[in-house]
Chains A and B, each alone.
Chain A
Amino acid sequence: MSLWTFGQGDGAHALVIGVGDYPSLLGGTAPLYPQHGGMTQLTSARPSAQAFADWLTTQYQSATAPLRSLELLISDAIPVNYTAAGQTQTVERATSATVRKKVLDWFQRANTQQNRAIFYFCGHGVAAGLQCTLLFEDFGTVQPAPLSGALDFTRFHLGMDQCAAREQMFFVDACRAASPMLLYSAGYYGDPVLTPGKPTSPSRKPPVLYAALPNAVAYGRTNQSSFFTEALLKAVHGSGAGKIAGRWSILPSVLYRSLSRLLEQAVAGTSVIQACTVDHLVDFAIHDLSGDPDVPVSVDCQPPINLAADRLIATSPGANRDQPPPVPKPWCVDLPVGQYRFSASSPAGTSVYVDEIVFPPYTDVVLP
C-alpha cells in the first residue's frame, strides 16, 4: 500500500507518480532495450514526486476540495519510504501493472461530481504531435512490446472524462521529444488504462500543464527535483494566484504564466532550454492562499547605478527589503502584492527611485 487518506467527504484525490528507475534503459540492470533512444536513469523523478506530494500533504488547501487521498508510486534505484499525516509507508513501484490498478482505484475514489482529481507524473515521456506517451519502470522490458510499459496519456486524459469529478488537474513533467517508436507503432501508443466514452455532462475542467513544448525536452537535475517541479512548487506558493470571489487562489491560467517565467529563471545560467505549455486551459481555484501572494520581482539596474557600491531598497507600507552591495543583476526578490518604491542609494547619498505595483504572476522593475 502507498495510499494515504485524509478525512471523509468530497475532496481532492491525487495520484502522484515518479519513475526514475528504468531497468531496460541505459544504465539499467536488465537487458538493454535496443531502441532506448538515449534515454537513461533519472535521479530527479523521486525528489520531484516527493516534493509534489509534500506540497499536497502539507500546504495544499481548498475550501471546496480539501485533500482526501494521496496515492504515491515511485520507482527509484532504492526502495522509498514516505511519511504523511504521521504515517510512514513503503512506496510501491510504478510498474505498468501497478499503475493500471492504482489508476482504476484513484478513478473510483474521485468518482463523484464534487470531487477533484489531481494527476502528477515525473519520468520519461515520448511524443509526436498531439500524442503523448508516458513511460513506466518496465518500459522496454518486453522487447517485442515496449509500449506495454507505457501510458497513452492522450487517450487516458480523454478517458478521465468518464470520471464524475468535474475538476481535474494534470501535471506532466516529462519530455515530449518526437519518437520514431511512436511514429512507427501502427497506432498503438501505450495502454490508456481508461476507455474514452460518450462525453459526460456537466463539462469537466481538465487542464494539463506540460513541462515541455511539443517535440522538446524537459530536464531533471541530479538527485534534485526537476526544473519544472521546482518552478511549479514556487508558483503555487503565490505567483500563480488570481483573485476570485474576493480570495486569492491559484488559477491554471495565472499558474501557467507564472510557471513560464519561473521555469525560464530556473534554467537561466544553465545550458538547458526548456519552456512549459498548457492544454485544455480553463480556470478554477486549484489552491487557496492564506493571505496575499508573494510575487517574484526582478529589479534590473542601469547606469548610473553602481552595482558594486549602491544599495537597493524596496519599500511599501507592508514590507521592506534591502539588498546591500554588491547587487546582483538582476536583483530577484519575492514581495507581497502591493505598491512599492524601488530605490538605489549610493554611498555619496544620491538616490534614484521608481514606483511600481507588485502583482502576480511577476513584476519586472527597471531602475532608474
Chain B
Amino acid sequence: MSDLLISINALDGTTSQWLVPTTVRRLDGDIVKQIDVTTNAGPERVSVGSGTYLAEAYLPSGELLRGSTTVGDTGETSIRLLLSPSPHEWLQTSARMTSTVRLTSRPAMPAAVDFPPGARTRAARVPHIFSALRVWLEDPRNVQLRSPILPQPLVPSYSDMLVERFDFGPPGAFTGGPVGSGILFISRHFTTWYAVALPFGWVTIDNLGEAHFEVVINRSTGAITTVVQDQRFGPVLGYLADGQSALAARVLDRQAMELLAEKLMNPFAAAAGGYVLVQRALAGIETSPQWRNWIRNLSNWFPTLPDGWILRGTLLLNGLLANDAADDSSSAAHECFRRAITLGVPLFAGGVRLLLTGMMTLAEDDAAIAWVRRLSLHVEPHQPFTTLRVEEPQ
C-alpha cells in the first residue's frame, strides 16, 4: 500500500482554515474514500493501492477543486488542491464557504442612492434578536436602533462591483451576551431593506474562542451574505444554504455534535448541526438516531432559541422523536412550532423553511400559518442566517 497525501491551500496567502469534504476516487469513478481536509493545514493521508487517483472537493461557493496523481506500489504521493485567486479575491477564502460568488456575479451598476448618514448601514444591540427581527419585519423604517456598532467597511479597490465587507467580532461586539441577544444588521438597497441577525456568543469548538462574523454587502445587487468564521461550522452553514445537506453532514462529524450537545458550548452551532441531521433524517439517511435526543435537550436548555423548538417540532411531526406528553405527536409538534413563533424569527433560514412546512402540514392555526407564510415571503432562502428582505411601502 502507498500513502496518498491530500491538501488544500490558498494561493493568495490567506491562512483561514475551513473543513472541506473531499472525495478520493479511482479513475473509473468508484469512490475510494471520503475525507475532510482542513484548508491551509497539513495533508490528510489515505492508504491506497497502486493506480491513478482523483481527489475532488466541491465548495459551498460552487467551485470545484480537482487534482489527480498516479501512485506506485510504495511511498508517498501528493495531490495539492489549490484555492486559486479569483476575481472575488477581496473576499478571501471565506467567500468559498458561501454561495456569495454565484449570487453576486452580476455586472456592476451605479451606486444606488446617497444614504443619509447613519442610515447607510446600521446595527444595534437589541435585547432579543429573534423578536427584534419580527418587529423589524412590520416596518423596517420604524425600528429604533440603539447603540450603533459600525465597524468600518472594507471596500475593495479591485472589483467590478460595489462591495462592502464588515467584520464583527471580539473584542467589541461579541462579549458574551445571553442566548438570544446579538446584533441586528440592517442594509438598504434602493427601496429594499435587508436585516440579518448575528448572535452573541458563537464559540468555536476548535479553539474555544468567540467567532467573528463577516457580513458582505454587494451594493450593486443588494445581496447581503453572512459568514461565521468557524472552520467547522462555516462550511456546514455554507453547504446547508446551498441545499447540500449531504456535504454538510460530512463536515459535521459525530465528535463535533457530541461536544456541542453534551458540553452546551454553543447552542447556535448545535442548532446548525441539528438542521443538517434533521434534513438527513427527513431524507431517510442518517447514521444514528441518538442525536435526536440532543435536539430535545437543545430546546429544553435553551428555551429562548426558536430553532431548537422548530427542530424538535419537525422531529415530532415526522415521527422521529418520542413524545414526552400524553397528547399525540402532531399536537406536541404544533406546540413546539407555536413556541418558536412566539419567540420571533429563527436564527437560521433553514428554520423558516421547516417552520413553514410544519405549519402548512398541521394546518390547525390560521393566524400562525398566515404569519409564517408572510415570514417565508421575506426570507432569503439561500443564506445561512435568516436574512429578511422587505420592500419599502410605496
Contact = CB atoms under 8 A, between A and B. Distances in A.
Contacts of A278: 243
A32 interface: no
A273 B107 contact: yes
Contact of B370 (A131, A155, A158, A187): A187
Contacts of B29: 242-243, 248, 337, 359
A359 B54 contact: yes
A197 to B, nearest CB: 7
A277 B382 contact: yes
Interface residues of B, number: 54
Contacts of A158: 357, 360-361
Interface string B280-323: 01111100000000000000000000000000000001110000
A269 B282 CA distance: 41
Interface in A238-285: 242-243, 246, 248, 253, 256-257, 260, 273, 275, 277-283
Interface stretch (A68-76, A110-118, A200-208, A304-312): A200-208
A257 B64 contact: yes
Contact of B285 (A130, A198, A282, A363): A282
A197 B381 contact: no
A131 B373 contact: yes
B380 A214 contact: yes
Contacts of A213: 102-103, 382
A129 interface: yes
Nearest to A247: B29
B1 interface: no
B246 A129 contact: no
A243 B29 CA distance: 6
A187 B374 contact: yes
A196 interface: yes
Contacts of A281: 243-246
B378 A155 contact: no
Contacts of B377: 128-131, 182-183
B378 A128 contact: yes
Interface in B17-59: 25, 27-31, 52, 54, 56, 58
Interface string A331-343: 0000001110000
Nearest to A276: B102
A357 interface: yes
A184 to B, nearest CB: 10
A201 B284 CA distance: 9
Contact of B317 (A199, A277, A283): A199
Given A130-B376, A196-B363, A183 B391 contact: yes
Given A129-B379, A129-B389, A257-B64, A282 B246 contact: yes
Contact of B52 (A196, A337, A339): A339
A338 B64 contact: no
B244 A180 contact: no
Interface string A123-135: 0000011110000
Interface string B348-378: 0000110011001101000001100111111
B134 interface: no
Interface string B166-199: 0000000000000000000000000000000000
B27 A357 contact: yes
Interface in B247-306: 281-285
B243 A280 contact: yes
Contact of A130 (B28, B356, B363): B356
B68 interface: yes
Contacts of A362: 64
B62 interface: yes
A361 interface: yes
Residue among B56, B318, B370, B377 with the highest chain A CB neighbour number at 10 A: B377
B141 interface: no
Contact of A277 (B243, B245, B375): B243
B66 interface: yes
A275 B62 CA distance: 11
A241 B103 CA distance: 25
Interface in B135-159: none
Contacts of A242: 29
A196 B361 contact: yes
Given A243-B28, A273-B107, A357-B68, A131 B376 contact: yes
Nearest to A362: B64
B16 interface: no
Nearest to A260: B62
A128 B374 CA distance: 10
A201 B282 CA distance: 10
A279 B391 CA distance: 25
Contact of A359 (B66, B330, B357): B66
Contacts of A359: 25, 29, 54, 56, 66
Contacts of B64: 257, 361-362
B120 interface: no
A256 B374 CA distance: 29
A130 B353 CA distance: 7
A233 to B, nearest CB: 21
B68 A129 contact: no
Given A246-B30, A361-B64, A203 B282 contact: yes
A180 B352 CA distance: 21
Residue among B283, B369, B391 with the highest chain A CB neighbour number at 10 A: B283
A198 B361 contact: yes
Interface of A: 128-131, 154-155, 158, 178, 180, 182-183, 186-187, 189, 196-199, 201-203, 205, 213-215, 242-243, 246, 248, 253, 256-257, 260, 273, 275, 277-283, 337-339, 356-357, 359, 361-363
23 contacts: A128-B377, A129-B375, A129-B376, A129-B381, A130-B353, A130-B376, A180-B391, A183-B377, A203-B282, A203-B283, A205-B284, A213-B382, A214-B381, A215-B389, A243-B30, A253-B246, A273-B105, A281-B246, A282-B283, A337-B28, A339-B68, A357-B66, A359-B29
**7 A-B pairs with the lowest CB-CB distances in the bound complex, closest first:** A203-B284, A243-B29, A128-B377, A130-B376, A282-B283, A129-B377, A357-B68
Given A158-B357, A199-B361, A339-B68, 11 more contacts: A187-B369, A199-B319, A203-B281, A242-B29, A257-B64, A273-B106, A275-B102, A279-B381, A283-B246, A337-B27, A357-B68
